[in-house]
Each structure stands twice: as structure tokens, then as C-alpha cells.
Amino acid sequence: MLIVSLFAFPVMAQQLPEWQSQYAIGLNKLAPHTYVWPYGSAAEVKSGHYEQSPYYHSLNGPWKFHWVKNPDNRPKEFYKPTFYTGGWADINVPGNWERQGYGTAIYVNETYEFDDKLFNFKKNPPLVPHKENEVGSYRRTFTVPASWKDRRVVLCCEGVISFYYVWVNGIFIGYNQGSKTAAEWDITDKLQEGDNTIALEVYRWSAGAYLECQDMWRLSGIERDVYLYSTPKQYIADYKVTSALDKKAYKEGIFGLDVTVEGPSTGVSTIAYTLQDTAGKTVWQDAVQVKSRGLSNLITFTEKTIPNVKAWSAEHPNLYTLLLELKDATGKVTEVTGTEIGFRTSEIKEGRFCINGVPVLVKGTNRHEHSQLGRTVSKELMEEDIKLMKQHNINTVRNAHYPTHPYWYQLCNRYGLYVIDEANIESHGMGYGPASLAKDSTWLPAHMDRTQRMYERSKNHPAIVIWSLGNEAGNGINFERTYDWMKSVEKSRPVQYERAEENYNTDIYCRMYRSVDEIKAYVAKKDIYRPFILCEYVHAMGNSVGGLKEYWDVFEREPMAQGGCVWDWVDQSFREIDANGKWYWTYGGDYGPKDVPSFGNFCCNGLVSADRIPHPHLLEVKKVYQNIKSTLIDPKNLTIRVKNWFDFSDLNEYILHWNVTTDEGVVCAQGTKEISCAPHATADVVLGAIKCASAGREAFLNISWTRKEATPFIATNWEVAYDQFVLPGSKKATAYQRERRATKTTRAVDKTTFAVDKTTGALNSLCINGQELLASPIVLSLFRPATDNDNRDRNGARLWRQAGLGQLTQKLVTLKERKTSATALVELRNGKDQKVGEATFTYTLQRDGALNVQTAFAPDTAVVKSLARLGLTFEMNETYSDVTYLGRGAHETHADRKQSGKIAIYKSTPERMFHYYVTPQATGNRTDVRWMKMTNEAGIGCQFESNKPFQFSALPFSDAVLERAKHINELETEGKITVHLDAEQAGVGTATCGPGVLPQYRVAVGEQRFEFTLYPLN
């Protein structure tokens, strides 16, 4: 059946081209339906490799391509087979044309990129620029397989942005608007033997662009697969599966099936189905005659109850295979299709979001489609995405902000991810007020088309547990009607829409970037009937995801607060090479003229980099999201209480590994245990009293969990969860004794010398046997190279810069020197020569050759309103690049993002500790450090300790270079290592979107004292 989505135009609109109308959502397209790829045999259906079917023919690959900046200059008759394209370039399909040398990639967030003086245009829906509207003309030839003779042939374009016309063999087929769901045309009667020609005329902007204002690169062209598939004349046009569980015991499977058969038949045909389990055993089968010889037949099979089905969940993605066979009057199979299905329920039950009757916590992330090709993502990259998500305890993905490539759903079905599928609707640039397109009923057909196509294509996927009506498009009549439609066809899954807030047209309260206090306030209400699940939270831009633990303390305590989805999964950045051959990541504003619309590096907010290398904060997500959590309830007769946060898995699927390790790195006890603990239950595990012979000051109980049997992506040696507890050691042990035993270093006062600068009061020399250890004086440090979050936090970099904390100088007021000590009182002045405070440094050379530095700092609170850090900074020559420390590692941690760091002894280098965020910023920090040392190859160097755990970083770039650089190719080394020893440093928060650094993780502005002891090592 064809669907003609061309509604009656106002008279004026009829004078404009279709791409300037909100009504022109498609012409001659097939009605939306589930994927009905024809397979060569029943055995092929289970694999899902539809591309290998003899009735599938890909049109991906090189196409002839012509690009113009203005529609008036396009080759208007290029679609004719006689038109000569020999002089045209080739372009790869799929792939956005901006990533292949044409036009300009533009990144903006909330606005329309064409609503800008660069394009001489102001937004005026449905109109878009004409003169500046780029057009890409695509053409290629193809040959239809001989085996397709006398069969029906369908052309499918999975995704083309933003609007396009289609011709086959010079015959106009139709057009489409809406870039993220398939558009199909029956081209059977347009084909010929031998070579055929297909042509697409693609417009960068159209009326549809007003509904595609997502936070992403604005790109153009054919970005998903183009292909043909062939069916018999009578064919399976659509089917809808019901595969739920009974809502009493959630043990029995409820199976229902509706099939639409279309096309003429010369006799009485039969539609049959077979349901098979994972072993290939037939669970149920049935057949019904297609009695009508009309063009469309809806067959509803009798609903079946299947006892003791294996339910589908993200933890146990049990799948069944549904085979559909169409047979002619003789019983011959004429068509085979089908899919994998899963039995599960998804519902709001007693105000809570439940899978299979069990309230679940959404441990989610959002995911844009992004690769170096643009919006085109290979199967291999999708597989890498899901592998990383599964390995890092993510159980939910929100398809932000549009339906994705069909292979992604197959992966989520097979490997177990809950999916929030979202309609390709975002009109952010129109705001949420009266101008919102949500309130303009002339846009209802476009809203409804995008919603229906999302639903129909993906309705049979068990992984989809929630539908989303769109994103950041205001609320109004159009979303009320799409909600009403979804609820009329969807009986088994909730429907959400963030901008509905607490209006009727959302089943989930799914606000974004709400604070912990706001979540608490919502769940404290007495009349709520919807769970709070944040569709976006903890904006992972740059050095971020601070305060995640505080969110999950609430989610694990409050029944109706059920988690959220981190923004975002992958940095939307592109790798380029500069004129000097240095590579770097790009972001908004890096392409096109100087005044190109841009929202800068706001597109770089992933848990992983664009090439899928995890950022440090992904490890924090893994740790906080982990499903096995322990607390130490008896530190003497070591006993832990284990909480099983899995929803459907007993802990007998896992092995507990434990050890007690001293602060010298000596393992004094270890073992493994297997326990049974039902989902959501707790169990106490007694490890017993442990006595360490080593005289360390501390010991650490490490708890680690691995799978007993491997599952896809999770090997038996992959750590799925871990906890660590600090145990008291020998009170007599000292860090000096520990280090001396480890390094056999001799220390003596006469081998250590120090000097204090007479104008700044700074320590400007520290020597061991006459060898200088410092490359710059040790001075007070209150600033850090601003992170993306710091630049947005109201308590962050703006206040630090106002106070001039990044340009501090020290002015000596008094200096008292003795034989082995010195006390310097200094004024701290900023770049404007304002006094920002006073500090007193007391330097004391100890008998063992160590230099103790005590600092008292008193800020001028009229100038200083916030501090990035409180500590010391200096430089050492790059020869001292062997870094060893006892603290949290092995990756970067911060005060509000350190749950994932294990305290242990680590060895590293400044280069390895530096993390290359897309925009350079503060990085490399380590927390809860007991001691740190930096040495050269000969073991000469310095060890640093404090009277309490401290933080440090040792990086190959100076603070000034990091603060100045906008891309990583601008980073220059100067042969020195910049060292920070911090008594306190502010957390990183998530202020680029959402809360800033929480009060408990800020540095107090007031009089403070701290000390460090420096041990020169010989």
C-alpha cells in the first residue's frame, strides 16, 4: 500500500518547492511498517544477516556526485539516464558530504544553523534559505539480479538529510522529508533489464530541518544505507508481535501475532509462523489461510499462552526466533521473513518503572550516532559501543535524539540493553513558548509521521522498553496528539516526553539535569504516580561527571527515583592534521569562515572519545553503576555485607575475589568465595581475622567480582564490580621507614640544602649532594587550568579569574632565617597588583634530611570568593619522570569523582598521567595520596608526604599552556614537569549542564594551614 503524505497546501505555499513546506513529508512512500526483509531460507532468519539474503541488493558504495551552493545552479536534468556524469566526482554512500570535502560542517546546539547572518536568513518556519541552500546530486547505475524476474522490488533509503527527490531510470518516484527513518518506494514497474539508473537530489535544508534541531553537527547527504529488496507479488507487508509475560507471576509468555499480507494471489495462500527457542526447538506454530484475494489482508492469529518461557531482560537477553512463511495454494513457500523476539513486560506499576514485574534502576547513557564519516556508523563501531557499555555496567541507552540504524536494535536485543527509542523531533530553536512548533497544529502531520514511523519500524524489538516522543521541542497539541496515538497502539510500554513535565502526556517524569535536591523534593510529594528517571544528567563534557555518587545514593534509597541517562556517550569530534603534521580533535567553529555559527566544544561531552577510547569518568560510571556493592561491618573478624543490586541475577553467577594488601604492596591474605544471594537481597560474608606481618601503617581489603562463566563481551577475568576498605596497620610504622626499606636510600642533613628567595619568600632551591631538584620555585597555588565545567560553574573559573588567582605573585614582607629553618611572610598579589591574601611559609630541615614546609594561608575575602585549590606548585626537569605514588589510581580522580580509584602503589609518568581531553584543561589529578616520589633513572629525586592524605598531579605541560590551548595540537612541552601538591582541590562537578561542584567538594575560603614534607632521594 502506498501512502501519499502531501496535505492540502495554502495557496501561497503551493508556489514554493516542496522542501519549503511542513506538509510535504513524503510522496508515494510505502506505509510505515516493521522490517520485512525477505530471507532465502528459514535458517537465515535467526542470524539476522539480511544483507546476505539473495533478495537483498545493496546500493552502498561510490556514487557519482555533483554539489552546488545554490539550488538554481543544480543540474536540473541529471536524473535522466542520458545525462553525462563522466566528469563528476565520486562520493561514498553512506557518508555525509561535509566529511567528504563538500560544504561546511556546522555545530550548534539549541539554534538553527541557518538562522544566521552568514546565510542572510532569520528563522521563519517552514521556510529555509534558498540562495544558500546546498544541493547534492547523486547518481549511480545498478543491475537487478536475474532471480528477481517477475518479483516485486522495493527501494529503501534508510536515512537522507534533509529532503530529497528520487528518480529511477529517469522516472520521478517521489520525495521524502524526515532523515532518521526509512523511506521506501515500490519501483517494480520502473525497472528494466540490464543497467538501471537511480538519482537522488538532496537539499541541505528543508522545512524538516525545523524538527531536526538536535545538539549535534548539522550535516547533509545520504548518511545511512540505500538498498533494494525483492518480494513475490503477494508478500508479507507488516507484522506486529505481542510477546509479553502474564502480570501475576510473570512466568507465562503471552504470544500474539498480527500479519498483513498484500498483493494479488491466483489461489488461496497460507501464512504460517513458527516460534523457536535458542536451541532451535519449536515452541509453537500455527497457520492461517489468506482467504481474501484482495490487495490487503490483516490476519490475527489466536493468542497463545506459553508456560515457563525464558524472559528477556538486559541481564539475561533470552531470545526466541519468529519465522514467518507465506505459501501458495500448492503449499510452496514463496516468502520467508522474521525476527528475534523476547518475552518481557515494561510497565509503570504502582508508580515505579518495572521490567518483568520488577522495579529496575536505569543505569543509562544517551547515544548520538557519530563517527569520522559524520552520522554514518559502521557495524563494527556499533559493536564496540555496545561492548563498552556492557563492560561498564550500563544497562540502558537512550537513542538521542532519533531512531538509529536498524543494526543497533539487533545488538541491544541480543546482548541486553534497555532502549529508549526517541522520535526524530526537536524544534529547540523555536523555544518552548508561543512560537513552539509543538503548539502549531499545521505541524501535526510532520510530528505524527515521525512518531508513527519510529513506532512501526521498531515495534517488535524486545530491547525497546520506553518510547520517547522527541526532545526539547516544547509541549502542546502536537505532542498531546502523538502521545494519544502512541497509547492507542502501544499497550505494553510506557511513553515519555521530557517537556511534558507533569502534564498528562508522559508516563515518566523525565526531566533533565535536575539536582539531587530537586529529585528529593519530587519523591517527597504525596500525590505522584510517575517515577523520576532523568533523560539526561551528569553532562560528561571534558573533565566531568563529578557528584555521580550523590545521585545514586538517592536512586538506591528512594523507590520512585529510578536513575537516568548520562549525557553523552561519545564525543562528537573529528580528527584532523594541522600544517605541522600534528593531529587534534575539532569541534564547532573549526570549519568554515570565522563567523560560522558555532556552539564551540559543547559537542565534546562523551564518556568515550570519538575513537571510542574511554575517558577517566567512564570508570566512575562503571563503579557507581556496578550491581554488587559491599560494606565492611566487622574490621577485626573481616566481614562484609554484600548487596545484590541485580534485578534478575543471583550472585552465584559470580566469584568473589578478596585480598588484604599492606601499604607496601605486600599481599598478606587472599582467597575466593562463591555465595548465593538473590536479586535485591543482602548476604554477610565472613573472611576471618587477618594479621599482617608487615609493619605498614595501613592495609587495604580489596573485594573484586568476576563472572563464573563468560558472556558476550564479559570474559571470566573482567572485573564487573569492586570495593575497597582501609584497615588500620601498625601505629609505629612511618612513611619514612617504609620508603627507606623499599629504596635503601640514606638521608642526612648535610646532604640536603635549601634556599629561600629574598623577594618572594618562595623555596627556590632544594639540593641533594649539590644536585638541584627544582626547576622553578615552590609557590602557593590557588588556581587550575579551567575545565569546561569550571568555565560554567558560578563558583568556578569566573570568580577565580576575577580574583586573578591564575597570575599570583608573592611579595616578601618578612623573612626570619636560622641554621636549619626559615619563616617567610608574604603578600599574594594578582595581575592587577591587588592583594588577595597573605601566606606564611615555615621551612624546617629535619635530622633525616627531609624538608618540612608548613603553610598558613589567609585570603582577602573581599577579593577572593572561590578557590580552585589550596596547595603548592613548582617544576622539575623532565629527567625526573619516574612517578611512584600510594593513592587512588591508576586513573585520574577528583574529590567528587574518586569512587573508582583504588588505593595502591602505582608507577607512571607525567605523559601517561595526562589525559587528552578535546579541549586541554586540568587533568591528571590523583586523590587520597599517602606519598608520591619523582626520580630519574638513577633513583635521584624527591618524595613528597603530608600529615594527611593529599592530592597531586605531575604533568608535561605548564598551567599557562593548558589554560591557553584550545586544541591539543597547541600543547607544547618545555622540558619540565609541572607538579601540584594540593591539600585541597575542588571537585569537577557537571556545571556545563546541571549542578556545579557540590558545597562539600569546594575549597573553603578562609584561613587554612597545611604541610608537606619533601624527602630528597639519593
- What's the chain's length in residues? 1018
* 738 vs 522: CA distance, rounded Å: 52
What's the rounded mean pLDDT across residues 624-633? 98
Going by C-alpha positions, the residue among 397, 461, 437, 416 that lies closest to residue 646 is 416
pLDDT over 90 for what percent of the chain?
93
Decide if pLDDT at 405 tops 50.
yes
* 606 vs 446: CA distance, rounded Å: 31
**Number of other residues whose CB lies within 10 A of the CB of residue 326:** 25
Q: Where are the alpha helices (DSSP H) in 765-820?
A: 797-802
C-alpha radius of gyration, the chain, whole number: 32
Q: Is the Cβ–Cβ distance between 204 and 133 less than 8 Å?
A: yes
Looking at residue 732, its pLDDT comes to 61
pLDDT-derived band at 773 (thresholds 50, 70, 90) equals: very high
Query: H-helix or E-strand containing 751?
Result: none
* 183 vs 26: CA distance, rounded Å: 8
Looking at residue 742, its pLDDT comes to 38
480-495: pLDDT as tens digits: 999 999 999 998 899 9
839-887: pLDDT as tens digits: 999 999 999 999 999 999 999 999 999 999 999 999 999 999 999 999 9
Joined together, the cell numbers standing for residue 430 give 523555536
What's the rounded mean pLDDT across residues 731-738? 52
* 892 vs 526: CA distance, rounded Å: 42
* 400 vs 572: CA distance, rounded Å: 13
pLDDT over 70 for what percent of the chain?
96
Q: Distances from the Cα of 633 to the Cαs of 422, 638, 651, 683, 914, in angstroms? A: 44, 8, 19, 12, 37
Looking at residue 692, its pLDDT comes to 86
In the three-class reduction of DSSP (H, G, I as helix; E, B as strand; rest coil), residue 229 is classed as strand
102-133: pLDDT as tens digits: 999 999 999 999 999 999 999 999 999 999 99
Q: Is the Cβ–Cβ distance between 108 and 102 less than 8 Å?
A: no
Query: How confident is the prediction for the chain on average, in pLDDT?
Result: 95
* Catalytic option among 262, 536, 664, 1011: 536
Decide if pLDDT at 502 tops 80.
yes
pTM given for the model = 0.95
What's the rounded mean pLDDT across residues 540-558? 98
**Number of other residues whose CB lies within 10 A of the CB of residue 425:** 32
Joined together, the cell numbers standing for residue 144 give 537487478
Joined together, the cell numbers standing for residue 194 give 540490464
* 285 vs 307: CA distance, rounded Å: 15
179-199: pLDDT as tens digits: 999 999 999 999 999 999 999
* 879 vs 934: CA distance, rounded Å: 9
Burial class (CB in 10 A: 0-12, 13-18, 19+), 286: middle
Decide if pLDDT at 10 tops 50.
no
328-375: pLDDT as tens digits: 999 999 999 999 999 999 999 999 999 999 999 999 999 999 999 999
Looking at residue 734, its pLDDT comes to 53
Q: Distances from the Cα of 817 to the Cαs of 572, 770, 778, 847, in angstroms? A: 56, 20, 17, 17
Decide if pLDDT at 5 tops 50.
no
Active site residue 576: no
What's the rounded mean pLDDT across residues 932-956? 97
664-681: pLDDT as tens digits: 999 999 999 999 999 999
SS3 of 114-126: the string is: CCCHHHCCCCECC
* Catalytic option among 472, 480, 620, 664: 472
pLDDT-derived band at 967 (thresholds 50, 70, 90) equals: very high
What's the rounded mean pLDDT across residues 377-403? 98
Looking at residue 2, its pLDDT comes to 44
Active site residue 325: no
Decide if pLDDT at 276 tops 90.
yes
How far is C-alpha 452 from the geometric centre of its chain's CA atoms? 26
* 587 vs 107: CA distance, rounded Å: 7
Decide if pLDDT at 750 tops 90.
no
Going by C-alpha positions, the residue among 789, 946, 922 that lies closest to residue 853 is 946
**Number of other residues whose CB lies within 10 A of the CB of residue 61:** 12
Which residue, chain included where needed, has cell 526532545? 471
Looking at residue 266, its pLDDT comes to 83
Joined together, the cell numbers standing for residue 361 give 534502576
* 922 vs 955: CA distance, rounded Å: 10
